[in-house]
Amino acid sequence: MKKLARLLSTTISSVACVATAAEKIVSQETMKTIYEEVKTPYKVGMVLLPEKGEKIDGPSVFRYGDAWYMIFITFDGKGYETHLAKSADLVKWERLGKIFARASGGCWDSAQADGWPLLLDPKWEGPNTLNKFDGRYWMMYIGGAMKGYETDPLSTGVAWTDDPSAVKQWTRYSKNPVLSPSDSDARAFERKTIYKHYVVEDPSRSCGGRFVDFYNAKQKGVWRETIGMAVSDDMLNWRRVGGDPVISNGAPAKFAISGDPMIQRIGDVWVMFYFGCGWKRSGAFDTFACSYDLKNWTKWEGKPLIEPSEPYDATHAHKPWVLKHDGVVYHFYCAVGDKGRGIALATSKPIR
290-336: pLDDT as tens digits = 999 999 999 999 999 999 999 999 999 999 999 999 999 999 999 99
- Asked if residues 158 and 173 have their Cβ atoms less than 8 Å apart, the reply is yes
pLDDT at residue 15 tops 50: no
In whole angstroms, what is the distance from residue 198 CA to residue 141 CA? 10
pLDDT band for 57, please (50, 70, 90 cuts): very high
Give DSSP secondary structure letters for 225-277: EEEEEEEESSSSS-EE--SS-SB--S-TTS-EEEEEEEEEEETTEEEEEEEEE
In whole angstroms, what is the distance from residue 164 CA to residue 153 CA? 28
- Sketch the domain layout of the chain as residue ranges: 2-347
pLDDT at residue 126 tops 90: yes
CB atoms within 10 A of CB 288: 26
pLDDT at residue 84 tops 70: yes
Looking at residue 13, what is its pLDDT?
A: 42
pLDDT at residue 109 tops 50: yes
In whole angstroms, what is the distance from residue 228 CA to residue 258 CA? 10
pLDDT at residue 253 tops 50: yes
Q: What is the pLDDT of residues 170-188, one digit of tens each?
A: 999 999 999 999 999 999 9
Tell me the pTM: 0.93
pLDDT band for 11, please (50, 70, 90 cuts): very low
Instruction: Over range 22-49, report the average pLDDT.
Output: 93
pLDDT at residue 231 tops 50: yes
In whole angstroms, what is the distance from residue 74 CA to residue 54 CA? 7
Instruction: Over range 41-61, report the average pLDDT.
Output: 97
Hey, which CATH number is domain 2-347, 2.120.10.30, 3.10.20.30, 3.30.830.10, 2.115.10.20? 2.115.10.20
Looking at residue 261, what is its pLDDT?
A: 98
